[in-house]
A and B are shown apart, each in its own frame.
Chain A
Amino acid sequence: NAGVMQNPRHLVRRRGQEARLRCSPMKGHSHVYWYRQLPEEGLKFMVYLQKENIIDESGMPKERFSAEFPKEGPSILRIQQVVRGDSAAYFCASSRGQPRVYEQYFGPGTRLTVT
């Protein structure tokens, strides 16, 4: 059973461009989470999705960031008009069920660099 897949592993964007980060959850997992880790800082929750629905987006910046988890295909985290402050490692995780009861498995992350 393959683990959580994220691609690309490294992404370089110029200021003002768009960044699309993809996450394929583990087989059988319908809950997906996105976290961000800024340089030298801790992990911060961004958004929690369950097939086609956003369950909790309390950690998402109000502008330029969006996430989706369509019925078919990977979850996508989209950052429009990137700025230098968006440079960070973005981790995706998945679980079989609600986070209280089920463990989350993390992907290797996408390291975004904005130049």
Chain B
Amino acid sequence: DAKTTQPNSMESNEEEPVHLPCNHSTISGTDYIHWYRQLPSQGPEYVIHGLTSNVNNRMASLAIAEDRKSSTLILHRATLRDAAVYYCILLSGNTPLVFGKGTRLSVIA
């Protein structure tokens, strides 16, 4: 049973911001929210993760709702290299990464 819900696909124009949503209404207090992506023919790549507060790094920002039942990955300026499948994953304890279907992001030049 999936713990997160993401749209199957999204499209963005190059150099525009992209907001990738993730719903996790059954999140527990100790679950961390992780985002990974997989570019075509490559291994997965860590993007960002957080617990309660919004997080920023050089790749993206993570906005977490106050009730933690949803979050949004923000790519500030999409490039062609950002075309990938993005996975939103909840982690607790020693549980491994469970990759769902993710959101396939297409970037249009």
Binding site for B on A (CB under 8 A): 33, 35, 42-45, 48, 55-56, 59, 89, 91, 93, 98-101, 103-109
- Evaluate whether A100 and B46 lie within 8 angstroms (CB atoms) in the complex, with A42-B100, A42-B101 already known: no
Q: Give Cα distance in the complex from A59 to B32, angstroms.
A: 21
Interface size of B by Cβ–Cβ distance < 8 Å?
24
A109 touches B91 (CB 8 A): no
Contact of A99 among B44, B97, B99, B101 (CB under 8 A): B97
- The listed residue with most A CB atoms (<10 A of its CB), out of B32, B43, B49, is B43
Main secondary structure of the interface of B (DSSP, over half): loop
- Evaluate whether A101 and B96 lie within 8 angstroms (CB atoms) in the complex, with A42-B101, A91-B43, A91-B44 already known: no
Contact of A108 among B30, B43, B101 (CB under 8 A): B43
Closest chain-B Cβ to A8's Cβ sits at a distance in Å of: 15
For residue A42, which residues in chain B have a CB less than 8 angstroms away from its CB? 99-102
* CB closest chain-A residue, reference B31: A100
- By Cβ-Cβ distance, the 10 closest A-B pairs, closest first, are A106-B43, A45-B96, A43-B99, A103-B46, A100-B91, A106-B44, A91-B43, A109-B43, A42-B99, A100-B32
For residue B92, which residues in chain A have a CB less than 8 angstroms away from its CB? 100
